[in-house]
């Protein structure tokens, strides 16, 4: 445990940020899961994909995910959506 006041505050802030980031990460994962299911069922519309991309971008902006990971996830989602659209 930290001894100084500054280190105690740093630990407190880190725990608060951890809670916030956990919620953001969960939100992104749920959006990705819904989008992937929609694509697999052929029910993916532009709004669903746009919402997922928006959440991914926000997560990268807040530092929850690395920007490269966000780009990779968006690319794979778009690729699968285009593949499903072409397969119809």
Looking at the chain, the whole-number percentage of residues with pLDDT higher than 70 is 99
The hierarchical CATH code for the domain 5-87 is 1.20.58.110
Mean local confidence (pLDDT), 84-88: 81
Q: pLDDT tens digit string along 33-63?
A: 999 999 999 888 889 999 999 999 999 999 9
Q: Is the pTM of this model over 0.95?
A: no
Q: Where are the domains of the chain?
A: 5-87
* pLDDT averaged over every residue in the chain: 94
pLDDT for the residue numbered 44: 84
Name which residue leads in pLDDT, 85 or 50. 50
In SS3 terms, 22-73 reads as: HHHHHHHHHHHHHHHHHHHHCCCCHHHHHHHHHHHHHHHHHCCCCHHHHHHH
Residue 86 CB contacts under 8 Å (≥ 6 apart), including other chains: none
| CB-based contact 33:74 (threshold 8 Å) | no
| CB-based contact 31:70 (threshold 8 Å) | no
Name the packing angle between helices 67-87 and 5-41 (round to 10°). Answer: 10
């Amino acid at each position: 445990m930290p001894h100084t006041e500054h280190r105690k505050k740093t630990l407190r802030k880190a725990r608060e940020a951890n809670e916030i980031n956990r919620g953001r990460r969960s939100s992104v994962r749920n959006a990705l899961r819904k989008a992937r299911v929609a694509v697999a069922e052929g029910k993916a519309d532009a709004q669903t994909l746009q919402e997922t991309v928006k959440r991914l971008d926000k997560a990268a902006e807040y530092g929850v995910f690395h920007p490269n990971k966000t780009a990779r996830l968006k690319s794979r989602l778009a690729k699968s959506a285009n593949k499903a659209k072409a397969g119809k």
